[in-house]
A = this chain, B = another copy of it.
Amino acid sequence: LKTEIISIGTELLLGDIIDSNSKYLAEKLNALGYDINYITTVGDNKNRLIEIFEKALKRSELIISTGGLGPTDDDLTREVISEVNCRPLKIDYFLEEKIRDFFYKKNYIMPKNNIKQAYLPDGAKAIPNHWGTAAGILLETANNIIISMPGVPREMKKIFDIEVIPYLKEKNNMIIKSRVLKLFGIGESRLEELIKDILDRQINPTIALLAGNGEVKIRITAKGDNIYEKEEKIKIVEDKIRKIVNEYIYGVDQDSLPLVTGSLLKEKGLSIAIAESCTGGLIGKRITDIPGSSVYFRGGLITYSNESKINILGVNDHTLKDYGAVSNEVACEMADGARKLLNSNIGLSVTGIAGPGGANKNKAIGLVYIGFSDGNIITSYRLNFRGDRSLNRWMSSQYVFYYLLKYLRDVEAGK
């Protein structure tokens, strides 16, 4: 189906927020086999919205819009869909009930203007939104399918994943299948060099390299008549790639470094504790992003000051004086201190200079030490990042999970 995305909201035209919805939808729609030809961003302006929707009805079969389904006067999407399709708005009593219920459960009285959200173009169906009051709209006409979702990314993503994807899968007969290999510790150019022969020869499945957040992804996408054929095709290519760069592949599809390390810890019955200096809580945050992490995560210490490194973690004040807080020695003592204090199998630590302040003539911004201890092995890694504060902190957290993964894999391999 010829597909286009319409992204609605003046705040997007003002550059206040980035249009992450369109990227999310484009990625998922492509994976489902839908070809997107246009993404249009337009403000909360009725005439321009009508112009864009009328154009879309002519040139595309599937139209997916986000935004403009809120309760305020600025929210015009339902009116516009109604108008361009000549389908008058009608109240959906079931939807009204759900909206009232939403407020009732929060002990609020429904503001008057929310009633607007219970109206749908004649013949349209509501797409349930369990996370807010703006239900989506699904309208099938002779020539088009229009799917309209709220613009709040959190709500949009859930509605799309849970309600829209199954619908689109059914609509599309030629389903493609794809698999993503996730790599850490290798750059995109180097990866391209290593698997150039495979990349050059591939037509079906196709292979794409994607880089971001210090990771590289390899996406393998197969077309075919049935699922077995497609999976078989993907497997052959995946095996070829794994022969060359398996050591860098930490997971597939929805895996993340915290998720993969967490599963391995759980599997092996091991626990971890962390001591963070320059990352200031980011690693703990990423570990506990994962539901159920309490099984293996004993806790963390954010020891931002020397005082707290000494008093809480038991870092030796001589070590701090002799080597400085950003050093191999302190990283090791922090990791082992966290392990002992929180009574875990493994302790990990980060100490570094995230920037923009804190550098001196011997230690530059981006210098980071990662400490590791399992009681027997106490070691540390020195890294040099060249990003800003935010990137340096992010990369530090990535490497903490990476070293943990290496250790857990070595344990597995009996090394």
Contacts and interface: CB of A to CB of B under 8 A. Distances in A.
Contact of A298 (B212, B304, B386, B389): B304
A131 B167 CA distance: 46
Contact of A299 (B70, B274, B305): B305
Contact of A193 (B41, B111, B190, B294): B111
Interface stretch (A135-143, A275-283, A400-408): A275-283
Contacts of A297: 280, 304
A351 B369 CA distance: 31
Given A72-B188, A113-B189, A302-B281, A41 B42 contact: no
Contact of A281 (B23, B208, B283, B356): B283
Interface in A16-43: 16-20, 22-30, 36-43
B30 A15 contact: yes
A401 to B, nearest CB: 14
A198 to B, nearest CB: 15
Given A283-B281, A299-B301, A16 B48 contact: no
B23 A19 contact: yes
Interface string A180-203: 000000001110110000000000
Interface stretch (A5-13, A84-92, A225-233, A240-248): A5-13
A284 interface: yes
A321 interface: no
A70 B210 CA distance: 11
B291 A298 contact: no
Contacts of A72: 188-189, 192, 209
Interface in A158-177: 158
B287 A280 contact: yes
A48 B37 contact: yes
Interface of A: 7, 10-20, 22-30, 36-43, 45, 48, 52, 70-72, 74, 105-106, 111, 113-114, 131, 152, 154, 158, 188-190, 192-193, 208-210, 212, 217, 219, 274, 276, 278-289, 291-294, 297-305, 307-308, 311-312, 341-343, 354-357, 386-391, 393
27 contacts: A13-B36, A13-B37, A14-B30, A15-B24, A15-B26, A15-B27, A15-B28, A16-B27, A16-B210, A18-B18, A37-B42, A38-B52, A40-B40, A41-B41, A113-B189, A113-B192, A114-B189, A154-B391, A282-B285, A284-B302, A288-B393, A293-B304, A298-B305, A299-B301, A300-B302, A301-B312, A308-B342
